[in-house]
Amino acid sequence: MKKIFIVADEPVEMRRKKALHRMRDRAVRDGRHVEVSEDGCLSIDGVPVYSVKDGKINHVVNDG
């Protein structure tokens, strides 16, 4: 079976903005504290989780 790449209809930035809005709406519906900065960074309960520039923000847990 061959892998097929399908070209997206929208630019990456537009898809990321839509994803950010879906994540924001879900967090608001769940009653969480939500902030969106001017540069397009979504923070939920004070933790940055998504940005329009980079997509999902991964967090490294340091146990000491």
* Cβ atoms 20, 50 nearer than 8 A: yes
* Cβ atoms 42, 48 nearer than 8 A: yes
pLDDT tens digit string along 21-64?
Answer: 999 999 999 999 999 999 999 999 999 999 999 999 987 766 65
State which H helix or E strand residue 14 sits in. helix 12-29
φ and ψ of 12, to 5 deg = -55, -45
**0.85 surpassed by pTM:** no
**Domains in the chain: boundaries:** 12-56
